[in-house]
Amino acid sequence: MATRKKVLLKVIILGDSGVGKTSLMNQYVNSKFSSQYKATIGADFLTKEVMVEDRLVTMQIWDTAGQERFQSLGVAFYRGADCCVLVFDVNLPKTFENLDSWRDEFLIQAGPRDPDNFPFVVLGNKIDLEDQRRISTKRAMTWCTLKGNIPYFETSAKENVEVEQAFHTIAKNALKQENDVDLGFPPPSAIKLHDPPPKQKKGCC
């Protein structure tokens, strides 16, 4: 690998209000959890340095307000994102049913080069409340498969279940996206400037 430059990955967390976006980010970055709910206003971000496949990368994790969908945030937040994390609450079906909207809004606002292959990661949060669960693993997995094999994790920010693993995958996929973009070569043989001229028979009669 020739490029050993410092990599900054922009990760955006989206999802309905109260599904635990801020908690997940806090658990991952600060290893802290508070069961008190405080609505995020606007947006904020935290950074964390992680090793991904022998590379030191800085993850810049953007936490957003779930209450107001995009309106107050604007395109600037989403441009240049390397990965988008969609979070829902496994105990609230509505938050799962809204994943589609979050994904669509993100794609439109961020305008990635290849929307079909942009890395998303889905987190089904609050699995610690197992007895209230309404969205089965199977149902969530089906949706993720349908949307292009999005990786799916079931997490608990409260009990720190799968949070580390989920964010590791997020970093890995974001890094892959970043590398793909870095290449930036036009597809080979896209434009042939010099078509070989058709061979003409040189008659000599």
Partner 1 sequence: MTEERVMVALADTYVHILRADDIEVITKLSATKGASSYALDASGLTPRLAVCTRKKLLFFRWAPEQGTFAFWKELVTPQEAKAIVWAGDSVCVGFRREYSLIHVSSGSTTELFPTGGGEPSCLLVPDANILLGKEHLSVFVGYDGKPSRKQALAWSELPLAVAYSFPYVLGLLSKSIEVRSMHTQNLVQAIPLTKPRFLTAKGSAVYVATTYSIFRLIPFPLPIQINELVEERLYEEAICLTEVAPGIESIKRQEQLLYIRMLYAFSLFVKGSYDAAMRLFFQLKVNPAQIISLFPDLLPMEMRLGYKYPFNMPELTGTQLDAALEALVKYLPQVRSALIRQAQSRTARAALLKFEAETGEAVLDDTLAKPASDAASPDVAGPSSGPELDPAEDTIDPSRIVLLGTLSSGSTIMFVDPADPSTVLTLFRDTKVLRQIVDTSLLKAYLKVQPSLARSLLRIDNACHVEECEDVLIKAAKFEELVLLYKSKGLHRKSLEMLRKLAKNHSTGPMSGPTPSIEYLRDLGVDHLDLILEFSVWILASHPKSALSIFTHDNEAVRSLPMDSIVAHIESHAPTVAQAYLEYVVFDRKSTSSKLHNKLAFTYLNAVVTALKAAPRAKSAGPVKVANERGTLATVRGQLLDFLRASTHYEPARILSRLAQLKLEETELYEERAVLLAGLGSHEEALIIYVYGLADHDMAVEHCNRYYDPELESHRDVYLTLLKVYLAPPETIPAQPEPAMDLLNAYSSRIDIPRALELLPPDTPLASLLPFFDAVLKSKSELYRRNLVLRNLLRSENLLVREQLIQERSRYVVIEENRMCGVCHKRILSSQSFAVYPNNVVVHYRCASKDRDVCP
The distance of closest approach from Cβ of residue 89 to partner 1 in the complex, given in angstroms and rounded to an integer, is 14
Strand order of the sheet with strand 83-89? 43-52, 55-64, 7-15, 83-89, 120-125, 152-154
The distance of closest approach from Cβ of residue 60 to partner 1 in the complex, given in angstroms and rounded to an integer, is 8
Out of 34, 53, 104, 182, the residue judged to bind partner 1 by CB under 8 A: 104
Strands (E) in the chain, as ranges, are 7-15, 43-52, 55-64, 83-89, 120-125, 152-154
Cβ proximity to partner 1: between 48 and 139 the closer is 139
Cβ proximity to partner 1: between 100 and 130 the closer is 100
- Give me the DSSP letters along 142-198: HHHHHTT---EEE-BTTTTBSHHHHHHHHHHHHHHHHHHHHH-PPPTTS--SSPPPP
Cβ proximity to partner 1: between 8 and 165 the closer is 8
With CB under 8 A, what is the number of residues at the site for partner 1? 32
State phi, psi for 104 to the nearest 5 degrees.
Answer: -65, -45
Q: Which residue has the tokens 């240049």?
A: 80
Interhelix angle for 21-30 vs 163-183, to 10°? 90
Q: Which region among 92-100, 159-167, 168-176, 179-187 touches partner 1 (by CB under 8 A)?
A: 92-100
Site for partner 1 in 29-88 (CB under 8 A): 41-45, 65, 68, 70-77, 79
Nearest Cα to 51, choosing from 7, 85, 3, 12? Answer: 7
Site for partner 1 in 130-189 (CB under 8 A): 139
Out of 17, 33, 55, 107, the residue judged to bind partner 1 by CB under 8 A: 107
Cβ proximity to partner 1: between 49 and 116 the closer is 116
Cβ proximity to partner 1: between 100 and 180 the closer is 100
The distance of closest approach from Cβ of residue 79 to partner 1 in the complex, given in angstroms and rounded to an integer, is 8
User: Cβ-count burial of 116 within 10 angstroms (0-12 exposed, 13-18 middle, 19+ buried)?
Assistant: exposed
| Residues at the contact surface with partner 1, assessed by CB under 8 A | 8, 41-45, 65, 68, 70-77, 79, 93-94, 97, 100-101, 103-105, 107-109, 111, 115-116, 139
